[in-house]
Amino acid sequence: MQAPRTVTGTGTAQPLGGGYPLEPGGVDDYPVRVGSMLLTLVDPHRGYERAYNRWYERDHFYAGCMTGPHQMAGSRWVATRDLKAMRWPDVSSVADPVDAGSYMAVYWVEEGHHARWDRWALERVRDLYARGRGFAARDHVHTATYDRLGVAYRDGDPVPVDLALDHHYPGLVAAWFDALGGADAAELSTVLLGDLVQELLGGSSIEIASSWAPRPELREGRAGLVPMDLGSPAGGSNRICQLFFVGGDVVSELPRFRRYAESIAASGLGEVVLVAPFVCSVVGTDKYVDELW
């Protein structure tokens, strides 16, 4: 097995080389790139878990998201009651209460095309709800869009973050931090993706660490623009969301994440807002619907 090492992607596709595409490229050598994401953390109302799971997977996942322009990929993740009990800190401005949010969906939007996708998404959700294709028995805990800041990899020739949602990783950890000392999200991301993330990834089953900043139009919510409450605001200019893709058992890696978060707090770099583990949903089944509460 290749010795792990961290490679930080530039976040921008490089000019096509003379050998493209006949020579194998690295993580920054292909022109299709994820530039932003939609992240939605939701709870179905009790008693509607199975109905919600099937509606979302068989209707809304596609009609409300995947058919949109420049929507590259999407995936669904689940936090069972046991996984929700492992979140920290005890109080969070992302999930209130901290165990709110059983299902998380993540979608990639192609770099340079967020504005067009966003216009489509707003029109589409209003149209679907007007035609009775919404789901009233659910609560949005946190739904926001984010811009890609940077990414670090465990291995030298990794699965690119652009393909991460299609790779079907068994686990994912979502973490939110607020930068301290006047730093903004980009500055905090740059620091975290250095030595701290290298220590987190090395020798682990955590393969990808990605950083994202809330888009400005989502920082205070979108009241009146969509037919439902989207939950907690995305956060200020100092907020970052990090998504970590785990190739093994996500629970066994949580002690590493706790040390990582404690290092961030102890160094004065940032405040820990939420660290939450998830497992990948099993598409086409009702697995986990009876394990949410």
Over the Cα atoms of the chain, what is R_g?
18
Q: Does residue 24 lie in a domain region?
A: no
Residue 3, domain member (yes or no): no
Residue 160 lies in a domain: yes
List the beta strands (DSSP E) in 80-126. Answer: 103-110
Q: What is the pLDDT of residues 86-138, one digit of tens each?
A: 999 999 999 999 999 999 999 999 999 999 999 999 999 999 999 999 999 99
Positions in the chain whose pLDDT score sits under 50: 1-5, 7, 9-10
In the prediction, which pLDDT does 217 show? 79
| Residue 290 included in any domain | no
Are 168 and 240 in contact by the 8 Å Cβ rule? The answer is: no
List the one residue out of 101, 195, 202 whose CA is nearest residue 143: 101
- Domain count along the chain: 1
Looking at residue 5, its pLDDT comes to 47
Tell me the pLDDT tens digit for each residue of 138-155: 999 999 999 999 999 999
Distance, in Å, from the CA atom of 240 to the CA atom of 184, rounded to the nearest integer, reads 9
Q: Which structural domain, as residue segments, surrounds residue 62? A: 34-280
**Whole-number pLDDT of residue 219:** 61
Instruction: Give the pLDDT of residue 113.
Output: 97
Q: Look at residue 152 and tell me if it is in a domain.
A: yes
- pTM comes to 0.94
Task: Provide the CATH number for the domain around residue 50.
Answer: 3.30.70.100
